[in-house]
Amino acid sequence: MSPILLELPSKVLALLAVILAGASFVRAWAARGRPGAKASSTPWLLLAGAWALMGLRGGAFVPRVATFREPWVALPIYAYGTMLGTSLVLGWFVALRFAKADGVPQEQAGAIYMWTAVWALVGARLLYVLTNLSAFNRPGDLMATLMVQKGGMVAYGGMIGGFLASWWCCVRRKLPLLQWADVAAPSVALGTGITRIGCLLYGCDYGRPTDRPWALVFPNGSPAWDAHIRRGFIEPHAAGSLPVHPTQVYESLLGFALFALLLGVRRRRRFSGQVFLAWVIGYGIGRPLIEILRDDDQRGQVGPFSTSQAIGMTAVLLALGLSRVLVRKHRRDPSSSRLWDKGGVRSGST
């Protein structure tokens, strides 16, 4: 287990970005005046990337004149950020496939997914900051709130942010929210399974000490090791933490299991919203149970419950109420509740 998957030579990457930007400018200049030629933002994006790499080299975003004469540190690629990015990319393909099957235009699905992903990241980070305000009360901590590559996100914050963004995008595009929710839910479940692998590699979201045979010991310097040192559970020279519940693995398995479940629900669904509600209820039951075994401090509290437990249980109650409403609607008028059929798509298609 390591929080860093690999390290890349930042100087080489910055030089490569500058070269590619120059080539893009030359290409754009050569194409000027041609019919249909459009200005491209690619060169500017490449230059911005090179500038950022220069800043990352020294930890400041304004490189000095002597930057290329000073030692450059390697650019770390964090496990959590990599798994998060992987989940977003795979989720994109899954959502577009189901959107096509359900008669949702690909352009609309792509745009909604993009904005949903952006605001999911914002919501996940925002809820983490709100539940850990004491960690961001020092001067200069404003930039720290934006650094998510090492973790520091709350899943339910992302789900709430993503849901609100989806709702707004669906309203703007006059697309039924439940139709889109059924398209997106499997991607969310799959993303949970993948992202929690990043949590495992980074060492965050660890569980309580246990003597179970599948318990994990996190190495010196990991969040679990640091917490056990502070609590006096182990000596400062200990090579690893106490054996703890691998709660990251538990939630990863929950995500993959829900993904498989939702595929089955899609094949047998009777009304729009059924796939989405199956995910809300399944995750809303599973996550609070896993929270019982969690032992990391940065989770927030709502009375006797953690923030995620309170949100999960509330979500289950709301989902059960909405399920009852949708079942009654389906019994009265089955055709109006099967939105995926209105685009001429075969019922039960996956």
pLDDT (tens digit per residue) in 294-307: 998 777 788 899 98
Give the angle 346-322-271 at the CA atoms, nearest 5°. 10
Alpha carbon 72 to chain centroid distance?
30
**Residue 6 has what pLDDT?**
75
Residue appearing with tokens 């590559």: 149
Alpha carbon 305 to chain centroid distance?
23
Instruction: Give me the average pLDDT of each 10-residue run along the chain (350 residues).
Output: 74 72 75 64 62 52 47 74 89 94 91 92 84 64 54 80 94 94 97 94 93 95 94 93 97 98 96 96 97 86 89 96 95 88 46
Please tell me the distance from the alpha carbon of residue 243 to that of residue 233, in angstroms, as a whole number. 11
Please tell me the distance from the alpha carbon of residue 182 to that of residue 164, in angstroms, as a whole number. 15
pLDDT (tens digit per residue) in 43-77: 666 666 666 655 555 444 344 444 455 566 677 77
For 50, other C-beta atoms within 10 Å of its C-beta total 20
**Residue 102 has what pLDDT?**
93
